Structure 1
Amino acid sequence: MSKLIPITLLALAIPAFAAAPAAPAKGDLKGDLLPFTATEKTLPNGLKIIVVPTGFPNLVSVQIPVQTGSRNEIEAGKSGFAHFFEHMMFRGTKNTPPEKYQAIITKSGARQNAYTSDDLTNYHTTFAKEDLETVLKVEADRFQNLHYEQDAFKTESRAVLGEYNKNSANPISKLIEVQRDAAFTTHTYKHTTMGFLRDIEDMPNQYAYSKVFFDRWYRPERTTVIIAGDVEPAKAIALVEKYWAKWQRGTYKSVVPVEPAPNGAIYKHVPWPSPTLPFVSVAFRAPAFSEQNKDQAALSMLLSLSFGATSPLYKRLMQDEQKVDQMFDYAPARIDPSLATIAARVKKPEDAVMVRDAILKTVAGLRDTAVTAKALEDAKSALKYGLIRSLDNTEQIAGTIASYAHYRRSYGTINQYFRLIESLTPADLQAAARKYLVDDALVVTTLSHEALAPAMASLPKLASFATAAVGAPIDILVQRSKLPQVRFKLVFAAGSAHDPKGKEGLAELTASMVASAGSVERKTDEVTKELFPMAGSFNDQVDKEMTAFTGSIHKEKWNEYMAVTMPMLLTPGFREDDFKRIKAAQLNALQLDLKDNNEEEFAKERLQTNVYAGTGYGHPVLGTVKGIESIMLDDVRDFYRKAYTQGAVRVGISGDVSDAMTASLRQALAKLPAGPGLPATAVPLGKKADGLQIEIIEKNTRATAISLGLPLTVTRAHPDFPALWMAKTWLGEHRSSSAQLFKRIREVRGMNYGDYAYIEAFPGGMFQFFPTTSRARKAQLFEVWIRPVAPQNAHFALRVALTELGRMIDAGLTAAQFEETRDYLMKNVFVMTATQDQQLGYALDAQWHGTPEFTKMMRDGLSKLTVADVNAAMKKHLSATNLSVVAIAKDAAALRVQLLADGLSSIKYDGDKPKSLLDEDAVIGNMKLGIRPAAITITPVKQVFAE
């Protein structure tokens, strides 16, 4: 069934642009819709010429789009003149009066017409090729020398009124007229191409103004002469130059008023005097056409998919329920922002509200759910091949070129626009929906003979149609600031402690698949390409108990960003090729980046797994070689389904956050499955060494890395946490030259690059100054990290570290040391939490631990501490004798012999050292460690983390 859409609605529902390419413009670029080669030239007077040989014999079509339409009618009381001149241009000139002009056209066997749109007026003539010069000559004459007397003007103005009266019999024409008048307050799109009725009725009195209008707008710099068909470009251009070159460029400058942003939904009703079925139209402010910005193309494509003949709503209302007998979408491409409309003709007046709400509900869904990639590709294909199918004759080809070329007077516009369409993704369409399909931009217009239900005048909010989330509402911690960069964290209660036995590394691999493998709609390269210009990021981090996704984007790009990233979380791509790629990368990260290329992090990770062997903390987050190799894509899908639920996520957002942003984040996360997520893990029980328990990992390396430590039950929720935090700070604050270990091993003796202590796991410490948030654990590790030393100094370095640790525990801090360290920490806690990411992360960690905000907790705890509290906590929780040790060494056997011999270990200095230090070295070098043979094991590096 055909759509009853008036010509004023249909005319040029197509796209405007930038500067013309150099001639000739070939249509052989990849992705070009038109295969022709165009020759383009701009004359000195500004006239643009485009010549396109089409390959069809004998015929030529001349299309002359002028960049003047009803948009240019900026003076009050003067609407309708662009359309009026579509009529008057056939009134001839003094040299070629109307009768003579028609005789010439008739003799050429020509088919001729014209149309006016909001943005242009196009004159088109198709004729036998031998008459090209004749047609160009008479067309040049009427464009340069149009002549009409006042009587002829008045006669034609009455004909225009007759055309308005004719169109007024069409309900949709009136509906669109009322819709546009209501939607626009300032811009000239407020009136249709026909113009306001009052202006049309007054047009006979505007003879003098008509001359002014023509003089302003019919000028070469606003005009393009398109010649397509059986034509030789050089000869055609020469003919245009012959007859059109003397046309004088204009001087008139005008500014089309800018429409202000909409500030509320609008409803208008048209009572129709004669019987008709009711019409319901739902419109929104739509973006201007662009060949570079995707918004207009995306919104047009989205509405076509969602309300066209292949859409579920069309099928429901037209076929299944038979509530309407016509339904269409209309999103014309205009130079300035216009309207995008969905309209339906309803069979029964009592169904009008239901039809309106069905349209609005579909619109609301478009903002929440992206179209499928297949549906979009099918729509692109239909649009492309449908247009190509229509290009079966010269006139159609020329007309299609004109409908696009008028924007920037370029042949290349159509090809560039269709390349833009080809690049559209489901996320682009969803971003356009979120940006433009909003309550404030809504215009509902109805037309009926019979009265409609009163409810029609009460417009519902689009949010009222949103599908209710299953499960409890998701709480969002909001940290507002003036920072335009918005950051959010999604922290799921799922980590490597949840890895199934034999599938170690599954939590890490699953998170990587979510954050680094795209979505159902977009492949990972498409995600990267979309995020690049907005400098957006979406990263994952997995730890023992947590998986955290961190998003960062400028507030102006929020909607576009969410359209790209949320599908990654909600509908991950889970493609086999991505799985193989990420799985291989994870294996490399374990075997190469950790084991082979980073002894320091390797020793720290091994110490952690040794202390918590047999528990969920007993393998690296990356997993084991055997575990990773055993993971299948179905394992990832299953873990994702069970772990990433509404009940398992903690959410925080910071920056210049609007309520709408928070609502959209909450709405997106409400699409996660309901449920608590994975079962809670038990508190892991670490192994407390009896004496020194040492593992030496044999590896071909220049230096020896050492880590030593013991399990801690003290977490941030424990009352002794501030005391131990102070102790570790005094002993070995990370990257601090004032800490004791650093001073005694690095600064005084120059043995290595640094030495630090921790009471919380600090993966990646060699790369950063502060620990990363979202690593909250149920049990922790006290650790001393001795950065690599020369192999001959390994035994001595271990003795120095144990000496300093023992002295601290046995002697305790002095009052001066206590006060100095507390003063440092009271201020340093602010430095630790200085960044937007840190503040948000620590706040979410506090939720997990059930503690106050971190800086408050620490400052309150530190302020109440006494030196006795710190010294007591050290004796209670720390030890310098019962420790697990991991050393990575080239000659493991020799180091084992040295440790067991327990003989003198010494250090040789390159420079002179004070006697006091040498005396201390002698004492430390003779320190008895008392290590039992069974307490030292040697492990070949290949066996570590193998399974």
Structure 2
Amino acid sequence: MHRLALLALPALVANAFAAAPAAPAKSRDVLPFKATEKTLPNGLKVIVVPTGFPNLVSVQIPVQTGSRNEIEPGKSGFAHFFEHMMFRGTKAYPPEKYQEIITRAGARQNAYTSDDLTNYHTTFAKDDLETVLKVEADRFQHLDYAEDDFKTESRAVLGEYNKNSANPFTKLFEVQRDAAFNTHTYKHTTMGFLKDIEDMPNQYAYSKVFFDRWYRPERTTVIIAGDVEPQKAIAMVEKYWGGWKHGTYKADVPTEPPAHGPIYKHVQWTSKTLPLVTVAFHAPAFSDKVKDQAALDMLLSLSFGRTSQLYKRLVQDEQKVDQLFDSVPNRVDPTLATIGARVKNPADALYVRDAILKTVAGLRDKPVPQQQLDDAKSAEKYGLIRSLDNTEAIASTLASFVHFNRSYGTLNNYFRVVDSLTPADLQAAARKYLTDENMVVTTLSSDALPAGIGTLPKLASFDAPAGSGKFDVLVQKSVLPQIRFKLTFAAGSAHDPVGKEGLAALTAAMVASAGSSERKIDEITKALFPLAGSFSELADKEMTTFTGSIHKDNWNQYLDIALPMLLSPGFREEDFRRLKDAQKNALQVDLKDNNEEEFGKERLQTDVFAGTPYAHPVLGTSKGLDAITLDDVKDFYRKAYAQGAVRVGISGDVSDAMVAQLKQALAKLPAGAGLPATTVPQAHQANGLEVDIIEKNTRATAISFGMPIAVTRSHPEYPALWLAKTWLGEHRASNSYLYQRIREARGMNYGDYAYIEAFPRGMFGFFPSANIGRKAQLFEVWIRPVAPENAHMALRIALTELGKLVDKGLTKEQFESTREYLMKNVFVMTATQDQQLGYALDAQWYGMPEYTSMMRTALSKMTVDDVNAAIRKHLSAKNLTVVMITKDAQGLKEKLVTDAFSPIKYDGNKPQALLDEDKAIGAMKLGIRPETVKITPASEVFAQ
């Protein structure tokens, strides 16, 4: 390690290190903030952005280190690995002390790794800025970990790979990149090659080399956004980060030679799934000056996105494809632009591939119409602005662009490039990059594909294509120009008729995704595109919510285009078939076939609520969906979406005229009170441990267990039980207890969390969605997939720790630290415009005060005795329903019912206390009776 010598600097040079004054945003900039930037003498870049949002600060630290930097053979995956290791602490702040500080700040934090960067992000109350900067500076400069900790985390990384292995898209893109690149490090994905991941426990010495090379101030930017004073923030950074030593290592990322395609690769998938077809091309690197990458991105979006003719043909009209997508990622070096499709019938794979190739061929010969391009520019601009509705979103968006040049101006410069694009620019990009030599075609399927799929025709062989209601409206006024409204109907899957399970969700999809009586869905999509407007649905057990979002400038146009989908639905047969197929695929393919974790959680719900209207997924059952007709949808719509059944909320820079317009439009809904109210479901309480083993051909074992509870959000003991749940297993938070005991101490999996409210789609978000109100809830523990040989032990550990909580409760110290976290975190979890509006409508539904004030008031009055009393009253570690998804179901059952000892092996050494604890837990008797264990083939789950 070497330090740059800065013995004496002339005044002119010294001034270069002074903080640049905050410059006013230019009228054409998409970021309307005044940023202050400074480069410290050691090379560290600091960017401070006051956002105008009160109370919160988001610190984002993008490091110019991603999988691109993994230049030695056999050493892939280390950039991602250090995303994990950076949470292993330092001598000054070991993990438990570090987490204690972050928890006291009420913060939510995480990190992610991409091809080109690793970004560490923390959002917290503004009073803790100096503390956060201090501890972050310490771990970047003094990361310290023992070899045993290194080996433990390496197993957690393997667990993440195993988790991802259930997703066929992950494997497809892994094979695609391996085929496309010969020398450049983009050849492997961010996770790295599996053989390298499996060898990581042996790479402790190299890990130190990697960190020393790449984690240096000249590769790092500290972004501080939110309720912050720039000069004070910069002074804090100088205080704690100024001593970080500049590095000397020179990167030597290999250059990829010119491509010599076309290339074809096929992935044979071992379990049932729909075929995937991708057509990729070697594409230009990101630039905020040169037009190529922006032009190609815009071209593919117009040609294969939801407004395109090919989307209308393949997805809507012919219904051969249920997903059509495109991607031109922003990367430091030349990358891959991908067009992809998920095909419903394997026999159509060749047809779909050639439809994509024919469209590509035409792009080189015919320019995009100017109006389409102008509309796309407008949509991209307003779409970005729409997303910048909270401090964290602003900071994270900045981080995704800042890492290229370590400059605040990169994003604004890029959008100037986008704004300057012409049809000729797009056509030039097509001719330069969409060539046979640059092409890589990849397919994946479990069934045989048509003959000829591997023979790639020349692009030249394709011909160019031819060319005033009485509603109480909840209004949340703010300065945000983005208007968002929500319409929440008292109608959900609990209202599905017997034998027609899935009807509520399908009806909602028909409203939001099937057009109006005047316009087909493709016409609506095209009309909304330049406005960056959206209209979406969310169906759950008790409610269905439609959310509209539009910039205030486009309000009148939007109402005329979007609201007729709800007020006068199209109900066309072809849309019904398309959306019914999509819902069946979401149930069978996306949930059951490709996602053991969400599959297990949904199965737990249906087991606990067996015999009630909550006993099937919101998506329905295979048999139920088959039985639904278009007439069923029309009938459900007329009964459910009535004026008396809707709650209305609107937020943003809302005028009285807008509210009046919305009320007048909703007066066209059918009259009436809506569907009959549902009763509270009477859930099944297990007697002892009742285990449902789902037999599925899978690499890892997913585990969820739980029990019904009488506590919903309106219950007086809800805040106390929420605190207990937070301490035990806060969702996606590494400061939670289960996470520390199962993942951190033992490296058994990717995470472990607890809930007292339903959290559907939990693996896709950090915070629960609003508008999932339910009349009955369950306590649930989610153990993310573990190696099959560790499944029995993982269950025992989780039950042991839950048992300690039930028997002993929280200590006063544990209670105080968790309460302090929640007092601040409640602002973080309700930070966005959508969350604030959704939680307010939920409060109406539950008949309770506004959520954040309710929680803070209750927490301020709460005692540790209140929490422990609620735990003893509502939770149990003995009477639970357990769902496990695994390959060897019979073998797992045998271990469970015989109470066999659960051994566990570690790659590295562990403290003797932990090993002694493992012996005791591994021998713990669970007392599971054979008659309480059932084995269910995955094919039979949610079938009827």
Q: Name the residue aligned to 1:558.
A: 555
**Alpha-carbon distance in 2 for matches of 1:711, 1:579:** 36
1:891, distance to aligned residue in structure 2 (A): 0.5
Shift of 1:642: 0.1
Partner residue of 1:732?
A: 729
Match of 1:760 among 752, 757, 761: 757
Q: Residue deviations 1:806-837, cap 9 Å, x none?
A: 00111100000000000000000000100000
Q: Indicate the SS of the match to 1:898.
A: helix
**Alpha-carbon offset, residue 713 of structure 1:** 1.3
Q: For residue 636 of structure 1, what is the aligned residue in structure 2?
A: 633
d(CA) in 2 for partners of 1:756 and 1:783? Answer: 8
Matches for 1:155-234 after TM superposition, within 5 Å:
none
CA distance in 2 between counterparts of 1:416 and 1:489 reads: 34
Q: Which residue of 2 aligns with 1:45?
A: none
Q: Which residue of 1 aligns with 2:611?
A: 614
SS across alignment from 2:784? strand
Where does residue 943 of structure 2 map in the other structure?
A: 946
Q: How many percent identity over aligned positions?
A: 72
Q: Does 1:530 align with 2:527?
A: yes
Task: Report the equivalent of 2:707.
Answer: 710
1:689 equivalent in structure 2: 686
**Match status 1:625 vs 2:611:** no
Cα deviation per residue 1:547-602 (whole Å; 9 max; x = unaligned)? Answer: 00001000000010111111000000000000000000000000000000000000
For residue 790 of structure 1, the aligned residue among 787, 790, 800 is 787
Q: Deviations over 1:133-172 (max 9, x none)?
A: xxxxxxxxxxxxxxxxxxxxxxxxxxxxxxxxxxxxxxxx
Higher radius of gyration, 1 or 2: 1
* Separation of aligned partners in 1, 2:691 and 2:561: 49
State the number of aligned residues: 481
- The C-alpha deviation readout for 1:31-67, integer Å capped at 9, x for no partner, is xxxxxxxxxxxxxxxxxxxxxxxxxxxxxxxxxxxxx
Deviation of residue 518 (structure 1)? 0.4
CA distance in 2, matches of 1:923, 1:537: 55
- Write the distance in 2 (CA, Å) between the matches of 1:918 and 1:567: 64
Q: Distance in 2 between matches of 1:932 and 1:513?
A: 46
Instruction: Describe the SS at the equivalent of 1:817.
Output: helix
TM-superposition CA deviations, 1:862-914 (whole Å, max 9, x none): 11111001001001000000000000000000000010110210111001100
Q: How far apart in 2 are the matches of 1:565 and 1:604?
A: 34
Match for residue 934 of structure 1 among 901, 907, 931: 931
Identify the match of residue 696 of structure 2 among 682, 695, 699.
Answer: 699
Provide the C-alpha distance between the structure 2 equivalents of 1:589 and 1:673, rounded to a whole number of angstroms. Answer: 30
Give, in whole Å, the separation in 1 of the partners of 2:748 and 2:660.
55
Among candidates 829, 833, 856, match of residue 832 of structure 1: 829
In 2, the alpha carbon distance for the partners of 1:573 and 1:534 equals: 22
Q: Deviations over 1:319-367 (max 9, x none)?
A: xxxxxxxxxxxxxxxxxxxxxxxxxxxxxxxxxxxxxxxxxxxxxxxxx
DSSP-derived class of the 2:904 partner: coil
Following TM superposition, by how much is the alpha carbon of 1:841 offset from its aligned partner in structure 2, in angstroms?
0.3
Partner of 2:869: 872
CA distance in 2, matches of 1:768, 1:735: 9
Provide Cα deviations, 1:608-631, integer angstroms capped at 9, x if missing partner. 000001111000000000000000
CA RMSD of aligned residues (A): 1.3
* Structure 1 partner of 2:152: none
Q: Distance in 1 between matches of 2:903 and 2:527?
A: 59
**Partner secondary structure for residue 506 of structure 2:** helix
Pairing of 1:133-152 with structure 2 (within 5 A): none
Corresponding residue to 1:848 among 845, 861, 867: 845
Label 1:482 to 1:881 Cα distance change in 2 as closer, same or farther (>3 A).
Answer: same
Rounded Cα–Cα distance in structure 1 between residues aligned with 2:910 and 2:528 = 57
Residues 362-511 of structure 1: pairs in structure 2 closer than 5 A: 469=469, 473-511=470-508
Compute the displacement of 1:533 (Å): 0.6
Distance in 2 (alpha carbons) for counterparts of 1:528 and 1:921: 57
Paired residue for 1:194?
none
The code of the aligned residue for 1:777 comes to: R
What is the aligned partner in structure 1 of residue 158 from structure 2?
none
Tell me the equivalent position of 1:598. Answer: 595
Amino acid at match of 1:740: Y
Q: Does 1:819 align with 2:822?
A: no
Corresponding position of 2:513: 516
Partner of 1:183: none
2:437 equivalent in structure 1 = none
TM-score, structure 1 length as denominator? Answer: 0.50
Distance in 2 separating the partners of 1:763 and 1:911: 36
CA offsets per residue over residues 659-718 of structure 1, 9 Å max, x none? 111111000111111211000001001100000000000000000000000011101110
**Alpha-carbon distance between aligned partners in 1 of 2:805 and 2:886, rounded to the nearest angstrom:** 28
Q: Give the structure 1 partner of residue 61 of structure 2.
A: none
Q: Does residue 581 of structure 1 match 2:578? A: yes
Q: Find the aligned partners of 1:712 and 1:597 in 2 and give their Cα distance.
A: 30
1:768-820 CA distance string (max 9 Å, x none) = 00000000000101000000000000000000000110001111000000000
- 1:234-266 CA-to-partner distances (Å, cap 9, x unmatched) read xxxxxxxxxxxxxxxxxxxxxxxxxxxxxxxxx
Q: Which has the higher contact order (CA 8 A, sep 6+)?
A: 2
Q: CA deviation at 1:416?
A: 12
Whole-angstrom distance in 2 between the partners of 1:664 and 1:924: 63
Structure 1 residue 667 corresponds to structure 2 residue 675: no
Aligned equivalents of 1:866 and 1:814: distance in 2? 11
CA deviations over 1:832-856 (Å, ceiling 9, x no partner): 1000000000000000000000001
CA distance in 2, matches of 1:648, 1:938: 41
Q: Measure the CA separation in 1 of the matches of 2:504 and 2:853.
A: 33
Query: What amino acid sits opposite 2:638 in the alignment?
Result: R
- Secondary structure of the residue aligned to 1:595 is helix
Partner of residue 862 from structure 1, selected from 859, 862, 882? 859
Question: In the alignment, which residue of structure 2 is the partner of 1:802?
Answer: 799
Q: Can you list the C-alpha shifts for 1:269-302, whole angstroms capped at 9, x where unaligned?
A: xxxxxxxxxxxxxxxxxxxxxxxxxxxxxxxxxx
Give the Cα–Cα distance (whole angstroms) in 1 for the partners of residues 941 and 844 of structure 2.
35
Distance 1:861 1:883 in 2: 29
Closer/same/farther in 2, CA of residues 528 and 416 from structure 1, 3 Å limit? closer
**What SS does structure 1 have at the residue aligned with 2:727?**
helix
Letter in 2 for 1:659: D
| In structure 2, C-alpha distance between the alignment counterparts of 1:499 and 1:864, rounded to whole Å | 41
Aligned equivalents of 1:650, 1:680: Cα separation in 2: 15
Aligned twin of 1:916:
913
**Moved runs in structure 1, 4+ residues, more than 2 A?**
none
CA distance in 1 between partners of 2:582 and 2:671 (Å): 32
For residues 732-757 of structure 1, the C-alpha deviation after alignment (integer angstroms, 9 at most, x for no partner) is: 00111110000000111000000000
SS at match of 1:706: strand
Report SS of the residue matched to 2:563.
Answer: helix
